[in-house]
Chains A and B, each alone.
Chain A
Amino acid sequence: MSQELLDTLTSQDYPYGFVTDIASDTAPKGLNEAIIRLISANKKEPDFMLAFRLKAYKHWLTMTEPSWANVAYPPIDFQAIHYYAAPKTPPKKLNSLDEVDPELLRTFAKLGIPLTEQKQLAGVAVDAIFDSVSVATTYKEKLLQHGVIFCPLSEAVEKYPELIKQYLGSVVSYTDNFYAALNAAVFTEGSFVYVPKNIVCPMELSTYFRINTADTGQFERTLIVCEEYASVSYLEGCTAPKFDTNQLHAAVVELVALDHANIKYSTVQNWYAGDPKTGQGGIYNFVTKRGKCLGKQSKISWTQVETGSAITWKYPSCVLIGEGSVGEFYSVALTNHFQQADTGTKMIHIGKNTKSTIVSKGISAGRSHNTYRGIVQMNKSAIGAHNFTQCDSMLIGNRCSANTFPTIDVRNASSTVGHEATTVKISEDQLFYCAQRGISQEDAIAAIINGFCKDVFKELPTEFAVEATQLLGLKLENSVG
């Protein structure tokens, strides 16, 4: 590959780097008990929620930041972050979109998420979250008619406290890790989904997170519960403006699936990744995501396309408890310029005849570092359990790296695990072949990379598979020579 081709533009600027000019209520920087009480008060939370936060905060104070991941970053000053920022108007509760600040509506429209009634994405309900508050949730009433609850978490705390008490923190406890504890203390907003017995949610649900205020952390918390024979498909999207400083995104996502329930959770992540020339700025995406297959024959699938963030550190995982339950993880992680990713999954098999599938495709370009880290564990009780893992890495250029660190641990005589990993390159011969057939370099790269990621893209909901394909093409424009 010629160096000049490798070096030519990624003049494809991050198109979401703009800042929305809107007045915000922002808590002073710093983290202490007073700030936590302020957050809880602003959200008018009941006592049990404040107690949840304070317990987590006290525990967080005893913990140290983990450093085992294959990512490097300067120390985070947790006292230099705003833990709460909300647009001044409109008021917290909205009865109709007419009450939403038009500037906010314009922001989401610019991001491709129109919220006005006429232009709402058909077939997709959207919960739009701007900094620390939910701005609007489309189709909420229609879903309620089907029995499906889809609302901001703060609203669920108020309206459905029993469900929150039962399930919040049941999959990711505040003791789990440093960032989970931090999130449990300061989480501001997120989505709550509850699908009752036998209901198949009639539309795709989606939450769109937008960080706007500088120096804020994004600590959203999402909880999805599906009762027996229920199912839902959920998509998470996110972007942030271009700031010179790094911003912390420490989210927690908990999924609970009861007997025969099915949860599909898809993420297309395009947080600002930092300046392509200097690596300055960009989001730190430190997320804990876990699904508990509590019920028999339940199923949880994680599908992620990670293209943004300065640093991505996340392992969407499944704990397979119910007999015959199934966990799946499909991932494309793309790093370019100075990005770093340490991502993967944990499949913990506890119940009999549980099954898991992992397909991970890592693409590294520029000066980036891309690591897959995974654990497949078959406990003694996981009789007849089965896993298959395929990890493939593609390197583009000679200044990046691809690492694979899987761990397979089997503790019984009836489970089977198969694991394969390969490295793949876009060869000069492949590019020449496509060029000789009249295909431009960009189109050829896009076709080859899509071929590489095909097994993951086909798991995304149709509406977003196309977006993901285009996103990958944009991100890698002119990185291959």
Chain B
Amino acid sequence: MDAYLQILFRDGILVWENCPPFVSLRQEGDDVYVEVSEDQSVVGVVRYQTGGCIRWHVDVQKSARFSLISIQQKQCSLDDTMVVQLQENAHASLHWMVAELSTFTTKRQVDVFFHGPHSNFQLYGLHVMSEQASVETKTHLRHLAPYTTATQQVKSVLFDRATSLFSGLVHVEPVAQKTDSNQYNHSLILSDQARAISKPQLEIFADDVKCSHGATIGQLDRDEWFYLLTRGLSDCDAKSMLLTAYCQEIIDTIPIEDARDRMMHTLLRKLATV
């Protein structure tokens, strides 16, 4: 059973509750250091009440597991960086959804180092943006050991003049044979003034690996939309249903039910306003 760690971020300061003894957590200015001890498992939920900048330094020891869910409670600009070090058999995941922005910018940079074999990293991000909001996600995965695995899925829904940029680099060293690393970036552009840029990149130096990336940018599927209309749904309801289904895939990955419900609620509220 995972331990559940709650963190609140307000005015540049992190405060936390329920920090289990096997997690070392401390803040020094903008830097936050997290270390999860061997064989232990924790899920953290960080709620941002104000904007700001945090530099996360996460160390996941052998066979430990660390999941972080990031929730923005108020409209704000964020500039987060996260550096994750994974030892043998360690697992880390990062989940976030951004759906409250109007003119704000969210920047997220994630660097992951796979030091030990059989380590795994997963990243799931969802952006539903309108007005002049912009989001920038940059990831850099460095596979330095064999049998390491990773999955990245980032989806954006863009209204009005919103923009999204995804830049993901997967680097595989010669020693990292049997790496299996996949990244997917999908964007729905629902306004002619919106813009999506996708740069999925691979640097591969080992010959026995499975690395793939996929990127799509487009609109809601016309056939699916038409099908719903023929079943009596209004245009508005049909679009809402399809958008919800599109976003659901990311929300479903969140390991805490309470957080999942909260995000779903936020999403539906947002979709009702655009």
Contacts and interface: CB of A to CB of B under 8 A. Distances in A.
A440 interface: no
B195 A411 contact: yes
A421 B177 CA distance: 18
Contacts, number: 108
Classify chain B: how many residues form its interface, as a range: 20 to 34
Given A419-B216, A421-B212, A402 B204 contact: yes
A373 B190 CA distance: 28
B202 A393 contact: yes
B105 to A, nearest CB: 18
A423 B179 CA distance: 11
Name the residue in A393, A417, A423, A425 with the highest tally of chain B Cβ atoms < 10 Å from its Cβ.
A423
B217 A410 contact: yes
Interface of B: 174, 177, 187, 189-192, 194-219
A406 B200 contact: yes
B207 A413 contact: no
B217 A408 contact: yes
A412 B216 CA distance: 14
Contact of A408 (B197, B207, B209): B197
B165 to A, nearest CB: 9
Contacts of A412: 189, 192
Contacts of B189: 410, 412-413, 415
Given A410-B196, A413-B189, A401 B205 contact: yes
A443 B55 CA distance: 54
23 contacts: A380-B192, A393-B204, A398-B207, A403-B202, A403-B204, A405-B199, A406-B215, A408-B198, A408-B215, A409-B196, A410-B217, A413-B190, A413-B219, A415-B217, A416-B217, A416-B218, A417-B215, A418-B218, A419-B215, A419-B216, A421-B214, A423-B212, A425-B208
Nearest to A389: B215
Contact of A425 (B199, B203, B207, B216): B207
A399 interface: yes
B197 A398 contact: no
A395 B206 contact: yes
Contacts of A417: 215-218
A404 B202 contact: yes
Contact of A398 (B199, B206, B211): B206
Contacts of A402: 202, 204
Contacts of B195: 409-411
Nearest to B209: A423
A399 B212 contact: no
A425 B177 CA distance: 12
4 cross-chain pairs, A with B, having the tightest CB-CB distances, nearest first: A416-B218, A395-B207, A419-B215, A408-B198
